Chains A and B, each alone.
Chain A
């Protein structure tokens, strides 16, 4: 059973927009996601963010990158 995408956040503001009710926000693309795609982000209906979303990246690789950047500073 797939889990909710680690890159999913619910935000009321971001991407130059704001909403009264928090909406699905993708921290990889830095934008609010379309309602249909939010089913992928939430791993609903058997969807899996890792295989069904073209924006998904392994969380480890992000951490690796940020570690490397920190090390260079």
Chain B
């Protein structure tokens, strides 16, 4: 993944993070929470150019759900509403016990992809998502067993160290996701993304998330460096300052920028080929 990939017009994968697990309708009245709402947002995002749908599950009252049953409901509804998009289940979950963190991997069929947080990060003032090495390894083992492609979530440079140290355990191409924002996430600055990309072996594919107002510049920079992008209400609620966005709008904007920059938006089939996925 290099600037040459940009020059060569390599297709760009757009992932839509529709829901997340942190905020809900108290923060954005149209943030999708029910399986039906998530499915409808997923269909709109697929039509707008997203080939990967990053999924979380919620209870009826909007609170986080980790059970395979609830993920099954969400995944079934999304499969029904979409044509060919890749489903990626989140295994993230602050404070949730390790056993629960495995549950999103246990739907039938298994998701083609799942997120894998590579280390600890702080939440609010007194909470930490621990993500011990032991948990990371056991989640990865189950993903391997079930043919699920992990997306390595690199929230900061420490997580990059952790990822590089175990890169040979991951099937080619390893897929790293760089997150930029506040707190224990990497400071959102173009030079930090550049440093990251320079530290990567060429075989690695990378994706970029910028939280909040950093979504637009960081994803644009990723496109210039041959990377892929994730957008959506999980990471950013606003289209521009003071104007709430929809998932679809954020995907459509990323697709427009990608095309303008000469990177065609990857279809689901191209995404499967680029990432070595097993198919829907």
Contact = CB atoms under 8 A, between A and B. Distances in A.
Contacts of B63: 24, 35, 38-39, 42
Nearest to A54: B125
A21 interface: yes
Contact of B126 (A23, A33, A36, A53): A53
A5 interface: no
A49 to B, nearest CB: 11
A34 B95 contact: no
A21 B24 CA distance: 13
A20 B23 CA distance: 17
A35 B123 contact: no
Contact of A23 (B23, B26, B94, B96): B26
B49 interface: no
Contacts of B89: none
Interface in A23-63: 23-24, 31-40, 42, 44-47, 51-54
Contacts of A24: 61, 63
Contact of A34 (B27, B100, B125, B126): B27
B61 A10 contact: yes
Interface in B109-166: 123-127
Interface residue tally on B, bucketed by range: 20 to 34
B255 to A, nearest CB: 29
Taking residues whose C-beta sits less than 8 angstroms from the other chain, chain A's interface range is 20 to 34
Nearest to A17: B26
Given A24-B63, A45-B95, A52-B126, A36 B26 contact: no
Contact of B62 (A15, A21, A31, A47): A21
A36 B97 CA distance: 14
Nearest to A33: B26
A34 B24 contact: yes
A22 interface: yes
Interface of B: 21-27, 29, 58, 60-64, 94-97, 100, 123-127
Q: What are the nearest 10 A-B pairs in CB distance?
A: A32-B26, A54-B125, A45-B95, A35-B24, A38-B63, A35-B63, A36-B22, A21-B61, A34-B23, A52-B126
23 contacts: A10-B61, A19-B62, A21-B60, A21-B62, A23-B62, A32-B26, A33-B26, A34-B23, A35-B21, A35-B22, A35-B23, A35-B24, A36-B123, A37-B124, A38-B63, A39-B94, A39-B95, A44-B95, A45-B97, A46-B95, A52-B127, A53-B126, A54-B126
Given A40-B95, A45-B100, 13 more contacts: A17-B25, A22-B61, A23-B25, A23-B26, A35-B62, A35-B63, A36-B22, A36-B64, A39-B63, A44-B95, A47-B95, A54-B124, A54-B126
